[in-house]
Amino acid sequence: MSAPAPASGYDALRELALDLRWSWHHGTDAVWRALDAELWDATQNPLVVLHTASRARIERLLAEPGWRDTVDAALEEKRRHAQSPAWFQDTHPAAALRNVAYFSMEFMLAEALPIYSGGLGNVAGDQLKAASDLGVPVTGVGLLYAQGYFRQRVRQDGSQEALYPANDPGQLPIRPLRTVDGEWLRLRFDFPGATLWVRTWEVQLGRRRLYLLDTNDPANLPAHRCITSELYGGGPELRLQQELVLGIGGWRLLRAIGLAPEVCHLNEGHAAFAALERAGQFCDDASCSFDEALIATRPGNIFTTHTAVAAGFDRFDAELLRRYLTRYAETRLGISIDDLLALGRQRPGDRSEPFNMAYLAIRTSGAVSAVSALHEQVSKAIFAPLFPRWPTADIPVGHVTNGIHVPSWDGAEADLLWTEAAGKERWRGDLLGVEQAVRSVSAADLWDMRSKARPTLITYLRREHARQLAEAGAAPADIAAANSLFAPDALTLGFARRFAPYKRPHLLLHDPERLARLLLDRDRPVQLVVAGKAHPADKAGQALVQQWTAFARRAELRARVVFLADYDMLMAQHLVRGVDVWINTPQRPWEASGTSGMKLLANGGLNLSERDGWWAEAYRPEVGWAIGDGAEHEGDPAVDAAEAEMLYTLLEREIVPEFYDRGADGIPARWVARIRESIASLAPRFSANRAVREYTEKLYLPAATDYLARAADHGARARDLFGWLQHAAAAWAGLRFGALSISAEGAGARVTVELQCDGMSPDALAVELYADPGTPGAPPIRVAMEMRMRPGEPATDGSLLYVATLASALSAERCTPRIMLRHPELRLPLEMPLILWQR
């Protein structure tokens, strides 16, 4: 490959500004600060800085000795990095995987590109960045929102106001996606009564790309131009329109630019229409039916669910889908609209049942993944209705626990400590040796990191709080008082997240006077920063915002507690780098994973959290604190009161004393020991580096191999499997269990059962004994039964004999024979949920 032509000074700066690797690499921060320090600090958007600076100023800086060299070196390093091999290329050089298409409604990449709301976008953005670091061939697909998610302003009375500033594409680090002849790539849709034009955009993130679609095309009807105006806004029809653009439009975009991903990763059910379009394109390519195409493409689709309650999935009225998808189903997929609707229903023939996007994702995917170990169990229960008569343990949901992209969230102080301990490239490989390296850091260095990070946070808090007070019209004296907010050496607590009732922001305020006494202790002061938005339609959440702002504005508390409005990515980065203890109080098990507490780990912050989501598998007494009993209580007010008591007691009796218990060297030895254990054992484990490597080896690589096998020779194996499944489904009704007998055999037991399988080959059946485990968490008992010849003449009724031997007679009494289909390529029960139990 020939080297790129040398760039002019301005072009070099523009190329650097358009690669969002600057959001975690920070190698060009000094360049943008030199152009306009105030604007850079306010926006963290190099393209805005570049567009705002005069050409004359840019030319003067480029003429300065050393400055142009810095720009050229940064550009050379960026290009070299983009072409260099990484973990994936070194570890899996012969992999069949060439590309993963990662679909998500939102991506949190940088505040310069505000197209996110919260946790879902956080996970998507961090995984895309980690894929860049690791060289995993992932391509993101999302939507470009004209306004993004709402911005929050808190009025003088504490009420929340929702604001919707426009995203100017010319000021975002994106560029139009163009064809080889320079034309802007626009996709054409047939929408009811009109043609819809969808524009496409490209975002660069180091080695990876994110493609965005929007409908704000002048050729569209006004209503259609607004389809991508707002994230999670409007009613069901607007949401359906957005998801059609994302899924169908996103897959068409990939085809238009010549990408043919082996794997399609659906980050939540919002993107499930991509699986339909993928199958439709396979129909065209292989000249096959939709059913055969779905069999061929399904192994290459992966569905990650983030929802902890069944009501959280998008559902659409059947008539709405008929209006938008009847023509698509008939002309694009070659099926009826009723066949399409059946894919999104628990009971396919129930015309009154709404269409569920999560059900569509499950019925078109070859693997389903939850986002924590606890969430796997929750998801199995949620999706159990799709797999009737299957035990919970067999519901086809696994998990890959979320992780955060550490270089995006660690502060300068933490980065320095990690670099000295584990090297600059620590988050770009397999993390071997990282834990041990961090364990060797001295207590003095760990405490020095924390002692420097906290004042950095306080400087930000004072500046931001004063700005927000001025914006709200506060008195000059109150604005001036913000400059004395917090003390640089006091224990600093943080609580920041979406203000939804299930996250229980009220728990810490259960006894406001007790909390006030804790904060105002003269000898062991505590300070608290709170931030968070409530959805504009969530009145209960907005009331919680108002309660917290009223508490923070109490005259005696103003130096010890602050509520910051408009919680966003930039604010979160400041908070997680300086807070000593992060408090999280969701109602278990509604926090599918949670990532905010993970962001403290590398920075030396500690967690005080409900045993929910990721903390349910991370918590040990050596790394932090937990509330709750590890059980679900359905929002019982008595449980809220009890857990609030636990929260206060832990703070008063353990956390505050431990922070202030200093040795002769001024270091809190027990506190620092906890920091070391948390950093060393948890930060690597709950990083996006680990999560993306786990996705790659556990899901992406097998999915690519299986998809390519089924798709080969125009889907020949998929056609064979489809025919086999049709025959099996037709013959299933002829299966019947006969007599069951249990006899002693040594110290164990011999179980024998008769089976009649008219029209079904025994080779197509798996017969086994099954029993639920006797203890929670233990695996079920599963013993394969073998077909045996009858002694003497075969049975006149054509039945077969199956036998298994168990070591325990007690186990034999608990076990029940069952029959499933058996095929070397079949994914059970995702692709065929048939099962028969002996009664």
The answer on pLDDT for 485 being more than 90 is yes
Taking the C-alpha atoms of residue 715 and residue 315, their distance in angstroms, rounded to an integer, is: 32
Tell me the pLDDT tens digit for each residue of 324-376. 999 999 999 999 999 999 999 999 989 999 999 999 999 999 999 999 999 99
Q: Which residue has the higher pLDDT, 193 or 579?
A: 579
Per the listing, tokens 């301005």 go with 10
pLDDT attached to residue 2: 47
pLDDT attached to residue 36: 95
Domains, the chain, in order of start with CATH, read 9-83 (no CATH), 96-131+142-234+256-262 (no CATH), 438-686 (3.40.50.2000), 723-837 (2.60.40)
Taking the C-alpha atoms of residue 723 and residue 630, their distance in angstroms, rounded to an integer, is: 47
Taking the C-alpha atoms of residue 371 and residue 392, their distance in angstroms, rounded to an integer, is: 18
Average pLDDT value for the chain? 94
Residue type (1 letter), 560: R
The answer on pLDDT for 1 being more than 70 is no
Q: Which residues contact 645 (CB under 8 A, 6 or more apart)?
A: none
Enter the pTM of the model. Answer: 0.95
Residue type (1 letter), 583: I
Residue type (1 letter), 503: K
665 exposure class (CB count in 10 Å sphere: 0-12, 13-18, 19+): exposed
Q: Which residues contact 351 (CB under 8 A, 6 or more apart)?
A: 318, 338, 341
Residue 715 region by backbone torsions, left for phi larger than 0, else alpha for psi between -120 and 50, else beta: left
Give me the sign of the Cα torsion angle 104, 109, 114, 116.
positive
Q: Which residue has the higher pLDDT, 391 or 778?
A: 391
Other Cβ atoms within 10 Å of 731 Cβ, number: 15
Residue type (1 letter), 733: A
Kindly state the helix (H) or strand (E) to which residue 526 belongs, with its residue range: strand 526-531
The answer to whether the CB of 567 falls within 8 A of the CB of 532 is yes
Tell me the pLDDT tens digit for each residue of 294-329. 999 999 999 999 999 998 999 999 999 999 999 999
Q: Beta 581-584 vs 491-496: how paired, if at all?
A: parallel
User: Once rounded to an integer, what is the mean pLDDT over residues 241-247?
Assistant: 98
And the tokens for 531?
A: 């931030």
Kindly state the helix (H) or strand (E) to which residue 214 belongs, with its residue range: strand 208-214
Taking the C-alpha atoms of residue 300 and residue 106, their distance in angstroms, rounded to an integer, is: 22
And the tokens for 565?
A: 């409005």
pLDDT attached to residue 792: 55
Tell me the pLDDT tens digit for each residue of 410-466. 999 999 999 999 999 999 999 999 999 999 999 999 999 999 999 999 999 999 999
Longest dimension (CA), the chain: 102
The answer to whether the CB of 391 falls within 8 A of the CB of 780 is yes
User: Once rounded to an integer, what is the mean pLDDT over residues 72-92?
Assistant: 94
Give me the sign of the Cα torsion angle 547, 152, 567, 214.
positive
Vertex 106: Cα angle to 104 and 111 (nearest 5): 145
Strand-pair partners of 138: 100
616-652: b (≥16 Cβ within 10 Å) or e = bebbeeebbbbbbeeeeeeeeeebbeebbebbbebbb
Phi then psi dihedrals of residue 837, to 5 deg: -110, 145
CA atoms within 13 A on the CB side of 42: 7
Report CA Rg, the chain: 29
Which residue in 468, 539, 510, 409 sits closest to 108, CA to CA?
A: 409
CA atoms within 13 A on the CB side of 195: 7
Start-to-end Cα distance in the chain: 68
Q: Count H helices and E strands in the chain, helices first.
A: 34, 28
Tell me the pLDDT tens digit for each residue of 636-671. 889 999 999 999 999 999 999 999 999 999 999 999
Query: Which pairs from 391-398 meet CB under 8 Å and 24+ separation?
Result: 391/770, 391/772, 391/780, 393/772, 393/779, 393/780, 394/829, 395/829, 396/367, 396/368, 396/827, 396/828, 396/829, 396/830, 397/305, 397/368, 397/369, 397/370, 398/367, 398/368, 398/369, 398/370, 398/698
For 626, the 3-state DSSP assignment is: strand
Tell me the pLDDT tens digit for each residue of 599-620. 999 999 999 999 999 999 999 9
For 664, the 3-state DSSP assignment is: coil
User: Once rounded to an integer, what is the mean pLDDT over residues 43-51?
Assistant: 95
For 139, the 3-state DSSP assignment is: strand
